[in-house]
Chains A and B, each alone.
Chain A
Amino acid sequence: MDILAQQILNGLVLGSIYAVVALGYTMVYGILELINFAHGEVTMMGAMVAISVIGLGLAAGLPALPLIVLAMLAAIAACMLLGLGIERFAYRPLRRAPRLAPLITAIGMSILLQNIAMMIWGKQYIPFPPVFPQGEHRILGAHVTDVQIIILITTVLLMLALTLLVKHTRLGRAMRAIAQSQPVAQLMGVNVNAVVAATFAIGSALAAVAGVLVAANYGQAQYYMGFLLGLKAFSAAVLGGIGNIAGAMLGGLLLGLIESLGAGYIGQLTGGFLGSNYQDVFAFFVLILVLVFRPSGLLGERVVERA
């Protein structure tokens, strides 16, 4: 029983992180039908900036709580700027280009950011200083750390805030309008460039938070960490139905749970024939199954081909 509870908790924590990163993919896709492959690298940059700020703060003798807030804000600010910059210089000039062109730019951006991070912070994994609370608790027999609780609560809050933003604000309405039809929204007086920029800024801010939490949870960060995380989060967004915000959340949590339970029970299910090395295979097998039967993802709307 504690083992099952522990595996579910592991999956929820992992899934929450996927979900927050997946939101960034899905928002941009919803509006521009662009897969922003550099999003994972934005997450990594958030983690790296936070580590640098915490390092400086510790040297200056700041206490833990203001330091966490400061690091978080610095990471968010840096990532928002980065997101805005990526949109302005890499994607906006190509907005009317064939769809393959921005996709290639996105991959190039991802590699560029990795290399920039490698030049600044080096190739080694760098430790995340233990400034977050380090307490441990038992819930239903499962071990939970403070950082994991922070991750779960932050994820719920971010999702609520984002849902409110999209459903009940002017900006949210403009985002939805552009998602439906960019030319019509423009005719109705929506400033498309401003809204797209805002979308990138919000998605990057979410990525920054996710990056800091991932690094705090695992105690380390490296220039390459955003790549795999981004790939998983992208898969989560597709699983939930890319372009759909609730779908990204559901997809993230599901992917986390599938991975965790898959690694936990695949050995028993197959009588030891397959081991935990099939963890990722299992997760992606489920993804393929879902896409075969529901090509637009779990919560994705059926896309009617445009006339």
Chain B
Amino acid sequence: MSDKEILETFHAGQRERAFVMLMEAYQQRIYYHIRRMVKRHEDADDIMQNTFLKIWNGLPNFRAESQLFTWIYRIATNETISFLQHQGRHTAISFEQNELQDDTDYSPSRYVPGDSYEIDEEALLQKLQRAIDTLPDKQKLVFHMRYYDGLSYEQMSEILGTSEGALKANYHHAVRKIEKFLLEND
């Protein structure tokens, strides 16, 4: 079902039905987005409830100036960041330009693998998670949104309120760090 159908149902007075439609459409994507950040299912569940309650309360005022999905995603992201801040595991996610500096040498000639590179799929997936865990919070968030959720830079920019350029830089730094980690930690 489309965002348009959901909103039309809501504005036709069938608010609860529209809300159920919205959950059916988006809860899985939102859950995985949250869960990847907080790790524990119980925490993700708490944030999910807060997120969808805010969505329910905000739906009457939602104006179709942005996509429904990006609006939902923004609420979920903010809720997750607030949760992490309260847990003391996260200070702030900032996209200031001076924080984007990265002195690591990422020249491809250093670590591009050859064709004979053996890939143990399961081991690589585990290693990938360890590599992601080493990233700064802001790079981790951007990487998740791009790599796992497939969001465009435009959507990410709308959700996070950050310029597309800064997001591209973050994503590229994250990707290169992960690639380096995968190669150096055999």
Bound pair (A, B): no
